[in-house]
Amino acid sequence: MNQRLRNLPLWKQHLYSLLFSITCMGVATGIALLYYEIVPENSYNIPLIFLLAIIIVSRYTVGYWHGLACCLFSVIWFNYRFTYPYFNLNFTLTGYPITFMVMAAIAVFTCAMTSHLAMQMDVIREREKQLAEVEMEKMRANLLRAVSHDLRTPLTGIIGNSSLILERGDLLTPEEKRTLIAHINEDSNWLLNMVENLLSITRIKGDNFSITTTEEPVEEVIAEALEKIKRRYPDTIVHAKIPEEFILLPMDAILIEQVTINLIGNAIEHSGSRDPIDLIVSATPETVSFTVRDYGVGIPQKKMENLFDGMPVSTSQTSDTHKGMGIGLSICKTIITAHQGTLIGRNHAEGAEFTFTLPRKQQTSERT
**Domain regions of the chain by residue span:** 3-93, 139-367
Strands 277-283 and 248-251: unpaired
CA distance 100 to 222: 67
Strands 277-283 and 287-293: antiparallel
Domain boundaries 139-367, corresponding CATH code:
3.30.565.10
Residue type, 213: T
Contact 111, 63 (CB under 8 A): yes
Contact 256, 221 (CB under 8 A): yes
Element (H, E) at 62: none
Q: Decide: pTM greater than 0.75.
A: no
Each residue's pLDDT, cut to its tens digit, for the chain (368 residues) gives 455 666 677 778 878 888 998 999 999 999 999 988 888 877 778 888 888 888 888 778 877 778 778 888 887 888 788 777 777 776 666 666 676 677 667 767 766 776 677 678 778 878 888 887 777 677 667 666 666 666 777 788 889 889 988 888 888 888 988 999 988 988 887 777 777 767 766 666 555 567 888 999 999 999 999 998 998 888 899 999 999 889 999 998 888 998 999 899 889 988 888 899 999 999 999 999 999 999 999 988 888 877 877 555 444 444 444 455 456 788 888 889 889 999 999 999 999 999 999 999 865 544 43
How close are the terminal C-alpha atoms of the chain, in Å? 27
